[in-house]
Structure 1
Amino acid sequence: MSSPLPSVRAGAGAPGHRNTAWLGWLRGYERATLAADVLAGLTAAAVVLPKAMAYATVAGLPVQAGLYAAFLPPIVYAALGRSAVLSVSTTTTIGILVGSALTEAVPGGDAARLMAAVATLSLLVGVILLVSAALRFGFVANFISEPVLAGFKAGIGAVIVADQLPKLLGLHVQKVGFFRDLLAIVRAAGGASIPTLLLSVAAVATILALKHWIPRVPAALVAVAAGIAASALLAPWSLGIRTIGTIPAGLPSVVRPDLGLVEALWPAALAIALMSFTETIACGRAFAGPSQARPASNVELLATGAANVVGGLFGAMPSGGGTSQTLVNQRAGARTPIAGLVLGMASLVTLLLLAPALSLMPEAVLAAIVLVYSVELVSVRDFQAIAAIRRTELVWALTAFAGVLLLGTLRGILVAVITSLLALGYQASNPAVYEVARKPGTNVFRRRTDEHPEDETYPGLLMVRVEGRLFFGNTERVLDLLASIVQRADPKVIVLDCSAIFDLEYSALKMMKEADDRVRSRGAELWLAALNPQARRVVERSPLGKALGRERMCFDLEHAVAGWERREAART
């Protein structure tokens, strides 16, 4: 679906117009917005390019794999995507997931083997996203809750920090797991390279100072330029400071995927595809302007899938929407996907003209960039915000966080998904069940509490509200809670307020019929009130509906109370 952009004239690109054709947003493009888009693209490039190289090192890949991800995928997304501000390349989360996947699939692989492996991985990610788009699986992005995603990202941030510490100290540590890696770093810290450490501290201090005092200046780009300049002047290899080495200049060449790795890589590809899509949708929706439509999930699946396929053919890392770069793109004034095209072209110029200079980059400077931007993922404020609202969801967030640290990133994402599904199942199986009373002088029925002792109840009549869908997984619990309320009240008539029940499943109806039989055997009655039309039709077709009849299915609680009062008046 086409985003309604303020920069397109009425017609094919007008607000509200559904347009999913290739480059469909380009119709009606106004030249007046070109300057803003170009400036935004160049500004985003200043942030994206250094980070893309840094994330390639996180994955254990040559830095050109990150540059390729900042070249081709943004261009493909600009052609097919619908977000005006989304900036697509590789991200912190993707970088660490790729690194974990390659460590397991091609341990100790040389540069050529790693490039073939990452090409295979990107192609698999792209194919999974394209198949998901064809099957219209865009809704899957909604199945990872925000608390779980916050916990997963915090775990990723902690893992990346531990992964970069040896580079910042000039050490080599064999990676075996988060806690054991930290212990190994502490033990080896005495052998740290002082020149490397000083360079790392200077790079981190420079980035933090610029981010704090001059936020409009691209801090990562300044750190890269300063690192290259220092490397050119000081001959760092003589001081024991490692550089990233030769970067092939020119256009990327086609990389033949290694089909023998498909079996080993497809689980990781599935995890990366899920995270890529989740981050892309989250960024696109979070940064959409007031006059812009939220990106359509299945269109974004198609765009990011094609971006990964094309990028994979040329050895690019898997890609997706990145939060920090999208924020930069938006604040710089991006109006349309032209900004993404500019980012891709800036990456191409870098590959063609600046590769020799980039080869002088010290590893410690890239590690410093990764460290500063990865620490932001470990957000204590996110956990505090979750805890302030719901402690249960804090448990889910901490579970995802611990899963990444204890089991690794690839298994950690599985923990995150399972945790989200368990959280969803827990919430669905525990609907609210509570007694309601009438606010005096109104037709408002609300939860009965000690805060409102004046609310009206009716002797012999119990009104109970249930919220949510009733199905086989929660009906027994609902009936147990209802039974405890009934036992305390000992009513003659129990009115179940169904206004918040949007669906009743077969098993639920069967169990409710059994409950009605038990209630009637004790001399009481069960009434239903405020059924929505769909739920009412389902009930009427069931044995429960036949047992209740029209007289025990009331339009709403007000009619139920009126019917109760008429019946009591007739008896007296």
Structure 2
Amino acid sequence: MFFPEWLAHYRKDWLRPDVVAGLTVAAVVIPKALAYATIAGLPVQVGLYTAFTPMLVYALLGTSRVLSVSTTTTIAILVATALGDVVSGNATANLATASAALTCLVGLILIVARLLRLGFIANFISEPVLIGFKAGVGIVIVVDQVPKLLGIHFHKGSFFHNLIAIVQEIPHAALATVAVGAVMIGLLVAIEHFAPRAPAPLIAVAAGIGGVSLLGLSSHGVATVGHVPTGLPALALPNFEMMMALWPPALGIALMSFTETIAGGRAFAESGEPMPRPNQELLATGLANLIGAFFGAMAAGGGTTQTAVNRLSGARSQLSGLVTSFAALGTMLLLAPLIGLMPDATLAAVVIVYSVGLIQPAEFLEVLKVRRTEFIWALVALVGVVLVGTLEGIVVAIIVSLVALAHQASNPPVYVLGRKPGTNVFRPQSTEHPEDETFPGMLMLRPEGRIFFANAQRIGEKMWPPIIATKPKVVALDFAGVFDFEFTALKMLTKSEKKLREDEGITVWLVGLNPDVLAMVRRSPLGEALGHDRMCFDMEQAVARYRASTPGGSRHDC
């Protein structure tokens, strides 16, 4: 379990592209990891630790060949919220202890989820809700970083409090800091536009450090990162009392970590490559967080942007992740003093430019174009993050997803069918196909999905209007699209069949039952009432038998 599976199948011709990709990703990941540490309210060196240990552990145990694991903007803002609730003031020791406790908990939760085989939670939050959640996080992060870009200070509070305070403090902005921030944002945007493969964050960081060293920006009031310790991280021991206080937010962070990890791994798996295995991913990310907690790392997960860079740079295997990890180690040992010269405005610019990428209006419009209801769910998730907070926003996102699922399950479609002329194709009647055939005295209905206690009543309500409107002799229920038929629904259908037969003189046929549903019906009173004659193999057979029997009399059986 702890031996890298990919190593047994490694090919020599992958070595060079893996090394090149790993170094390229390091040039992107390391500056961004430093910036994300500041989002979380942690010292910048925590970003280096996160780019080292979790990346190393995942590269050894993960199943995605190109997934790059350190941290993300989403996880960073969640960590910031969680730590802010348990750490008073900005004592570095308290922050380090709390971060270790939180990261340890995230790792333990993911490992327990692996033991329980809960890999299916990768699909727990719907895509529209995730779009809204991430857009909300992007907005919150941008508002959080703007003060650093302007060189202003105020007591932070709710989202709207911070927004109003920024507007009020703009006249007091430090011009030198604003200039640095503007130049950095312009540089990042220009590189992304004109040279998308270049390591834009690294170039921006180098430019910022060069500006402080050569132009003496510090003497003009431009704040810098300050001292960054050189060497390996000190051993960090999680605090049990803090762990007890942090477990609720740790659940949300673990869910988001795994969701982003599996989404990134699946998105960049090429044809012919093995798809990430969710349960193994739970173990890999769980151990990456658990081990990382003891070496100063913050909560970690797969990052989509850095994974895209890894793929575009030619990565062939997890070795590229190992190269990135050791590049972070080299930075810790050799380049830490230079990092201390980096302007805060540079880090803020990096955070803002890449956080804006979380806000994708085109994705909202795509959802709206396809389905208005799910567009509303996306907006609810966005507003939830902005108004009630990021951690609470996860709860909002999950609730919205569950409500969406319940709504879909409780309101399945029921179609009135017609037959395409000259074929055996039966499709829902519509104004687009007025030529579709119907058969006097026969009503063909098709419910779809799982029929169970929560939707059986609703399905019955949808069936009655066409029955009343057409007054058929036979109602043929096409169950080809019904994959499960629950006991409560079966009892309701049994009563309805009896009512239609005895009170209305209408015969019910069941058509296209799958083997499991057919066996269940046959064991029930409904099966006894219908017998063999009123259960047909498919709708074509039902129509043929109905039409054959109609001229000869009143018998309408399969």
The answer to whether residue 53 in structure 2 is matched with residue 72 in structure 1 is yes
Report deviation, 1:85.
Answer: 0.7
Aligned residue number for residue 541 of structure 1: 523
Aligned residue number for residue 434 of structure 1: 415
What is the distance in 2 between the residues matched to 1:396 and 1:448? 30
Query: How does the TM-score come out when normalised to structure 1?
Result: 0.95
Report deviation, 1:34.
Answer: 0.5
SS of the residue corresponding to residue 434 of structure 1 reads strand
Counterpart contact for 2:72–2:302, Cα < 8 Å: yes
The answer to whether residue 478 in structure 2 is matched with residue 497 in structure 1 is yes
Aligned residue number for residue 199 of structure 1: 180
Aligned residue number for residue 243 of structure 1: 224
Q: Aligned partner of 1:86: which letter?
A: L
Aligned residue number for residue 293 of structure 1: 274
The answer to whether residue 313 in structure 2 is matched with residue 332 in structure 1 is yes
Alpha-carbon displacement from aligned partner over 1:404-440 (angstroms, at most 9, x marks no partner): 0110000001101111111111111111111001111
Aligned residue number for residue 89 of structure 1: 70
Aligned residue number for residue 530 of structure 1: 512
SS of the residue corresponding to residue 464 of structure 1 reads strand
Name the stretch that deviates more: 114-123 or 510-519.
Answer: 510-519
Aligned residue number for residue 319 of structure 1: 300
* Mapping for residues 502-517 of structure 1, pairs under 5 Å: 502-517=483-498
Aligned residue number for residue 405 of structure 2: 424
SS of the residue corresponding to residue 60 of structure 1 reads coil
Name the stretch that deviates more: 521-530 or 237-246.
Answer: 237-246
Q: Aligned partner of 2:506: which letter?
A: A
What is the distance in 1 between the residues matched to 2:525 and 2:328? 67
Aligned residue number for residue 481 of structure 1: 462
* Mapping for residues 382-421 of structure 1, pairs under 5 Å: 382-421=363-402
What is the distance in 2 between the residues matched to 1:235 and 1:454? 80
Structure 2's unaligned 5+ residue stretches are none
What is the distance in 2 between the residues matched to 1:531 and 1:173? 67
Q: Aligned partner of 1:568: which letter?
A: T
Report deviation, 1:182.
Answer: 0.3
CA RMSD of aligned residues (A): 1.1
Name the stretch that deviates more: 226-235 or 418-427.
Answer: 226-235
The answer to whether residue 357 in structure 2 is matched with residue 376 in structure 1 is yes
Aligned residue number for residue 456 of structure 1: 437
Alpha-carbon displacement from aligned partner over 1:113-149 (angstroms, at most 9, x marks no partner): 1011111111000000000011010001112111000
Which ranges of 4 or more aligned residues in structure 1 deviate by more than 4 Å?
A: none
Report deviation, 1:21.
Answer: 5.9
Alpha-carbon displacement from aligned partner over 1:494-515 (angstroms, at most 9, x marks no partner): 0000000000011111111121
Report deviation, 1:215.
Answer: 1.4
User: Residue 342 and residue 158 in structure 1: after superposition, are their counterparts in 2 closer, same or farther (change >3 A)?
Assistant: same
Counterpart contact for 2:136–2:385, Cα < 8 Å: yes
The answer to whether residue 508 in structure 2 is matched with residue 554 in structure 1 is no
What is the distance in 2 between the residues matched to 1:550 and 1:220? 71
Report deviation, 1:378.
Answer: 0.7
Report deviation, 1:173.
Answer: 2.4
What is the distance in 1 between the residues matched to 2:307 and 2:83? 27
Report deviation, 1:568.
Answer: 1.4
Name the stretch that deviates more: 259-268 or 84-93.
Answer: 259-268
Name the stretch that deviates more: 393-402 or 436-445.
Answer: 436-445
Counterpart contact for 2:2–2:60, Cα < 8 Å: no
What is the distance in 1 between the residues matched to 2:116 and 2:90? 36
What is the distance in 1 between the residues matched to 2:436 and 2:171? 72
SS of the residue corresponding to residue 476 of structure 2 reads strand
Alpha-carbon displacement from aligned partner over 1:474-497 (angstroms, at most 9, x marks no partner): 111110000111111111110000
SS of the residue corresponding to residue 172 of structure 1 reads coil
Q: Aligned partner of 1:218: which letter?
A: P
Alpha-carbon displacement from aligned partner over 1:141-191 (angstroms, at most 9, x marks no partner): 112111000000000000000000000000112221111210011011111
Query: How does the TM-score come out when normalised to structure 2?
Result: 0.98
Name the stretch that deviates more: 533-542 or 457-466.
Answer: 533-542
Counterpart contact for 2:41–2:80, Cα < 8 Å: yes
Report deviation, 1:450.
Answer: 2.1
Aligned residue number for residue 172 of structure 1: 153
What is the distance in 2 between the residues matched to 1:116 and 1:31? 43
Number of aligned residue pairs: give it: 553
SS of the residue corresponding to residue 569 of structure 1 reads coil
Aligned residue number for residue 549 of structure 2: 567
Aligned residue number for residue 162 of structure 1: 143
Aligned residue number for residue 85 of structure 2: 104
What is the distance in 2 between the residues matched to 1:441 and 1:545? 33
Report deviation, 1:249.
Answer: 0.7
What is the distance in 2 between the residues matched to 1:341 and 1:453? 63
Aligned counterpart for 2:203 among listed residues 195, 214, 222? 222
SS of the residue corresponding to residue 66 of structure 2 reads coil
What is the distance in 2 between the residues matched to 1:109 and 1:515? 68
Report deviation, 1:58.
Answer: 0.4
What is the distance in 2 between the residues matched to 1:28 and 1:388? 44
What is the distance in 2 between the residues matched to 1:283 and 1:144? 15
SS of the residue corresponding to residue 509 of structure 2 reads strand
Aligned residue number for residue 8 of structure 1: none
Name the stretch that deviates more: 229-238 or 185-194.
Answer: 229-238
Aligned residue number for residue 12 of structure 2: 31
